[in-house]
Amino acid sequence: MKLALEHVTFGYGKTQVIKDMNLELTPGVYGLLGPNGAGKSTLISLLVTNRIPDSGRILWNGREISGEGAAYRGVLGFKPQQQSIYPELRVREFLYYMADLKEVPGKEQENAIDELLRRLNLERHQHKRMKALSGGMLQRALLAQALLGDPSLIILDEPTAGLDPMERINMRKLIGELSGNRIVLLATHIIEDIATIAKEILFMNHGKILLRGDLKVLEEYYEAGRREGRMTGVEMQDEIMILENLYYDLFHEASCSLM
């Protein structure tokens, strides 16, 4: 099982947002990190076929996704960042509606929905309208629809947005349990969301994957920038400065916890 990008570019007008990107993902959880404007949302739009690359190819198991249509959508589970989805539908109605859109066979829908409601602790909330759910329950409902059809590729856009600390921990645990024989891509700007569950962290900025590895790799990259004097006022846009602004405290907390 493999998702691959080969020399993918995409832009809005004259602004190139994704720049000659090459990337290969195999089963496991990947954290996609980067500041606002890094290109994360555009990359996700390309992966879920909402947009088509200007050049290059996106391949699922060696086949270009733009030509796979329903076959690719059948292996894809997507939880968008947007939270105001079908606010008047009750949770169970929403899941049936999404199951129809994902072409889950009718005879399988009830058991699949019952299992997801149980697994995501939504059984007591299944008759509430989507607009009446708390932030944590809404994120769980959106995750439930992403899991309909038992997808092999799961893409989660800011799944802990708006959650309190305990809900964030619970969501991280749920996402960690999704790993195994699946590819899970989790886009976030909160490094602690993926520090303990990600197989690899992908650090993105300026339309490129600048770095991939575990938290230690990012920390070493950051520390190398400090030693080499790349954190001056003249270089405020340097990616190492962005790492400092976003992750300085967490890096040092992680280092202290290992002592």
Q: Are the beta carbons of 159 and 171 closer than 8 angstroms? A: yes
Q: CA separation (Å) from 220 to 74, 171, 195, 252?
A: 39, 28, 15, 12
The token pair that represents 47 in the structure block: 């992966």
Query: What is residue 250's predicted lDDT score, i.e. its pLDDT?
Result: 52
Q: Which of left, alpha, beta for 14 (phi over 0: left; psi -120 to 50: alpha)?
A: alpha
pLDDT at 77 over 60: yes
Compute the mean pLDDT over every residue in the chain, rounded to the nearest whole number: 86
Q: Are the beta carbons of 74 and 102 closer than 8 angstroms? A: yes
Residue 235's pLDDT band (cuts 50, 70, 90)? very low
CA distance 238 to 257: 28
pLDDT 10s digits, 52-61:
999 999 999 9
Please give the model's pTM, rounded to 2 decimal places: 0.86
pLDDT at 50 over 70: yes
